[in-house]
């Protein structure tokens, strides 16, 4: 009864004049863009650019101060569980690995007898089957991140929003997380993720949104962005010279 | 010196031999303090959780008040409950002064702030950590609260133990509202105070031994629960 793989219409994301102000600072400044979907989107930018904020606003966890945001004509809260979020700092419940997933299934109202098979599937995809009964918070950083992604995917979202899913991970753990992201993408779950890791963006991005100091400086296909960016900020960022 | 030794020896005999007077006093102590913790928990757990989760004007003040109330002097609580329950007091009609009921009331008041304050701390820490995640799942109010209570259950239990420790060890409140009446309202602490002042060290020491064992066990249990929880759930 798995709906994954089944073609579901993509939900274009339409953002217009979106601003977010806090503490007297303009943290997101009049963003305008439209994401058609069907491709992997990477929001790239240095520390403090506003990547996490933008992702939260897209998910509906934060309300924009002004401007509009819609997922195929729906507000984020109307889109509900079509949107799932994986946070930059993982939030794992004080429970075992499998109970972390069981909790999400419980919130979704999945019947008890259906839960264990879905937990098994999710853990297998994350390569965590052997750790099912371990306390989630004692896992390594890479395992924790994989669990977070697996847990978000049991929501069967149409869009998976990932906030710096591999910051603080070593190359091996990063590769495992990227494999999960690719698998989700291959299953038809749309990927929108942030990173400040240029190499990761090169590996994963089909299109790039380049954010700097709350402004959207570029929105282009990845190949163009990496070969010939339009703005000097993006050029300097790609050269490793733009640090903030 | 030998007098003290013989008193200790007799005391141990009383404890080991389950002396009826001793058993009666210990049983009443447990009954009173456990009832007080139960009542305090019924008020303190929801109150603490509400202060942690519900935004209202003056919440900061409420938190400070709860924490300050953890240090209420037992004699003062005893005095206030005495005034309320005394024949001419507002609750004099109840006629419960110098009964175990009065002692339960006084200890509940002493323990409630401890349970409420520790509950608030526990729930508010977890809330801060979990809330955004739970919101992102589209969890409803009840689902969010039950997640917090469940994941905080060991720390909440530790709070109940702390409350029980405070109740069973205090003497000031129960001696005022209970009156230390033989076979009616004598609990461990009040008996120790009375018997010591009368120079009857045997029973006082025997009760002291029981009280120490009880307090040590409660604290040990709290530590063990905490360890087990952090090992099991991180
Ligand atoms: N609630 C808030 N109030 C005030 N400032 C905030 C708030 N939230 C975020 N900021 C600020 O907004 C800016 C952007 O934050 P954000 O977390 O979105 O950056 P980021 O691009 O995700 O950075 P990083 O790569 O370090 O994760 C930062 O300067 C941050 O300090
Ligand atoms: Mg961020």
The residue whose two tokens read 């004692």 is A138
The pLDDT, as a whole number, for residue B4 is 82
pLDDT bracket for residue B3 (50, 70, 90): confident
| Residue A152 in domain | yes
In Å, how far are A1, B6, B7, B17, B191 from B196, measured between CA atoms?
A: 75, 15, 12, 21, 8
For residue B23, pLDDT over 90 is answered with yes
A1-10, B65-74, B217-226: range with lowest mean pLDDT: A1-10
pLDDT bracket for residue B7 (50, 70, 90): confident
Residue nearest to atom 29 of ligand 1 (CA): A48
Query: What range does the domain containing A49 cover?
Result: 13-238
Asked if residues B29 and B187 have their Cβ atoms less than 8 Å apart, the reply is: yes
State the distance from the centre of ligand 2 to the C-alpha of A204, rounded, in angstroms. 18
Q: Which residues of B touch A59 (CB under 8 A)?
A: 136
| Residue A4 in domain | no
In Å, how far are A62, A194, B129, B134, B146 from B140, measured between CA atoms?
A: 17, 28, 17, 9, 10
Q: Which atom of ligand 1 is nearest to the CA of A164?
A: 27
The pLDDT, as a whole number, for residue B92 is 92
B133 inside 8 A of chain A by CB: yes
A80 inside 8 A of chain B by CB: yes
Asked if residues A49 and A213 have their Cβ atoms less than 8 Å apart, the reply is: yes
Ligand 1: which residues within 6 Å by Cβ? A 22-23, 27, 45, 47-53, 88, 164, 196
Percent of chain A with pLDDT over 70: 96
Residue nearest to atom 5 of ligand 1 (CA): A22
Q: Tell me which DSSP letter residue A81 carries.
A: G
| Residue A77 in domain | yes
Instruction: Give mean pLDDT, residues B55-74.
Output: 95
Q: Please report how many Cα atoms fall inside a 13 Å half-sphere around the Cα of residue A51, on the Cβ side.
A: 28
Instruction: Give mean pLDDT, residues A24-35.
Output: 96
Helix-then-strand count for chain A, H and E: 9, 9
Instruction: Give mean pLDDT, residues A125-147.
Output: 96
The pLDDT, as a whole number, for residue A2 is 43
For residue A241, pLDDT over 50 is answered with yes
| Residue A234 in domain | yes
B143 inside 8 A of chain A by CB: yes
- Take residue A16 and report the two structure tokens written for it: 């217009």
**Measured distance CA(A28)–CA(A20) in Å, rounded:** 5
For residue A5, pLDDT over 70 is answered with no
Instruction: Give mean pLDDT, residues A53-60.
Output: 97
* Domain at A169, CATH number: 3.40.50.300
The pLDDT, as a whole number, for residue A4 is 46
Q: Which atom of ligand 1 is nearest to the CA of A23?
A: 4
Question: For all residues of chain B together, what is the average pLDDT?
Answer: 94
| Residue A5 in domain | no
- Take residue B8 and report the two structure tokens written for it: 């200790």
The pLDDT, as a whole number, for residue B193 is 95
- Take residue A163 and report the two structure tokens written for it: 């906030």
For residue A176, pLDDT over 50 is answered with yes
pLDDT bracket for residue B207 (50, 70, 90): very high
**Fold of domain B2-233:** MetI-like fold (1.10.3720)
The pLDDT, as a whole number, for residue B1 is 61
> Where exactly are the structural domains of chain B?
2-233
**Measured distance CA(B62)–CA(B54) in Å, rounded:** 12
The pLDDT, as a whole number, for residue A47 is 92
Question: What's the angle, vertex CA A96, arms to CA A92 and CA A99, rounded to 5?
Answer: 85
Return the beta strands (E) in chain B as ranges: none
B130 inside 8 A of chain A by CB: yes
Query: Mutation test of ligand 1: which of A52, A62, A65, A166 has the most ligand atoms closer than 8 Å to its C-beta?
Result: A52
For residue A177, pLDDT over 90 is answered with yes
Q: Could you report the per-residue pLDDT of B141-155, keeping only the tens digit for each?
A: 999 999 999 999 999
Domain count, chain A: 1
Asked if residues B148 and A95 have their Cβ atoms less than 8 Å apart, the reply is: no
Interacting residues of A236 by C-beta distance below 8 A, sequence separation 6+:
A242
Q: Could you report the per-residue pLDDT of A64-115, keeping only the tens digit for each?
A: 999 999 999 999 999 999 999 999 999 999 999 999 999 999 999 999 999 9
Q: Starting from the edge strand earliest in sequence, which strands make up the sheet with A13-22, in order?
A: A25-35, A13-22, A66-71
The pLDDT, as a whole number, for residue A8 is 67
Question: For all residues of chain A together, what is the average pLDDT?
Answer: 93
């Amino acid at each position: 009864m798995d709906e994954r793989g089944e073609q579901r219409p993509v939900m274009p994301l339409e953002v217009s004049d979106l601003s977010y102000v806090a503490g007297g600072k303009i943290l997101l400044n009049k963003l305008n863009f439209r994401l058609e979907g069907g491709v992997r989107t990477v929001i790239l930018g240095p520390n403090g650019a506003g990547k996490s904020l933008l992702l939260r606003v897209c998910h509906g966890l934060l309300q924009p101060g002004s401007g509009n945001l819609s997922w195929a004509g729906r507000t984020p809260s109307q889109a509900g569980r079509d949107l799932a979020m994986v946070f930059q700092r993982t939030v794992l419940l004080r429970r075992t690995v499998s109970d972390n997933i069981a909790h999400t299934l419980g919130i979704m109202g999945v019947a008890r007898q259906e839960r264990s098979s879905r937990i098994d599937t999710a853990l297998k995809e994350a390569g965590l089957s052997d750790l099912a009964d371990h306390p989630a918070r004692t896992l390594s950083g890479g395992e924790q991140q994989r669990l977070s992604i697996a847990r978000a995917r049991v929501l069967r979202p149409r869009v998976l929003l990932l906030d710096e899913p591999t910051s603080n991970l070593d190359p091996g753990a990063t590769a495992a997380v990227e494999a999960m992201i690719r698998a989700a993408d291959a299953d038809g779950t749309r990927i929108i993720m942030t990173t400040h890791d240029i190499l990761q963006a090169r590996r994963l991005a089909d299109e790039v949104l380049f954010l700097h100091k709350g402004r959207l400086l570029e929105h282009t296909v990845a190949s163009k962005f990496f070969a010939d960016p339009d703005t000097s900020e993006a050029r300097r960022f790609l050269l490793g010279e733009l640090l903030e | 010196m030998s007098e003290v030794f013989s008193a200790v020896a007799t005391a141990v005999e009383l404890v080991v031999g389950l002396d009826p007077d001793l058993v009666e006093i210990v049983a009443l102590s447990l009954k009173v303090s456990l009832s007080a913790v139960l009542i305090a928990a019924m008020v303190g757990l929801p109150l603490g959780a509400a202060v942690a989760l519900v935004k209202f004007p003056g919440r900061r003040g409420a938190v400070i008040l709860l924490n300050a109330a953890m240090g209420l002097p037992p004699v003062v609580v005893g005095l206030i409950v005495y005034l309320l329950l005394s024949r001419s007091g507002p609750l004099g009609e109840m006629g419960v002064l110098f009964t175990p009921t009065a002692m339960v009331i006084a200890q509940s008041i002493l323990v409630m702030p401890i349970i409420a304050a520790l509950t608030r701390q526990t729930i508010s820490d977890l809330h801060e950590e979990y809330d955004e995640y739970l919101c992102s799942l589209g969890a409803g109010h009840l689902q969010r609260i039950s997640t917090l209570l469940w994941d905080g259950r060991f720390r909440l239990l530790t709070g109940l133990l702390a409350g029980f420790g405070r109740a069973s060890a205090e003497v000031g409140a129960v001696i005022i509202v209970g009156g230390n009446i033989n076979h009616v309202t004598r609990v461990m602490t009040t008996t120790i105070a009375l018997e010591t002042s009368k120079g009857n060290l045997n029973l006082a020491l025997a009760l002291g031994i029981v009280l120490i064992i009880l307090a040590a066990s409660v604290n040990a249990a709290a530590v063990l629960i905490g360890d087990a929880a952090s090992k099991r759930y991180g």
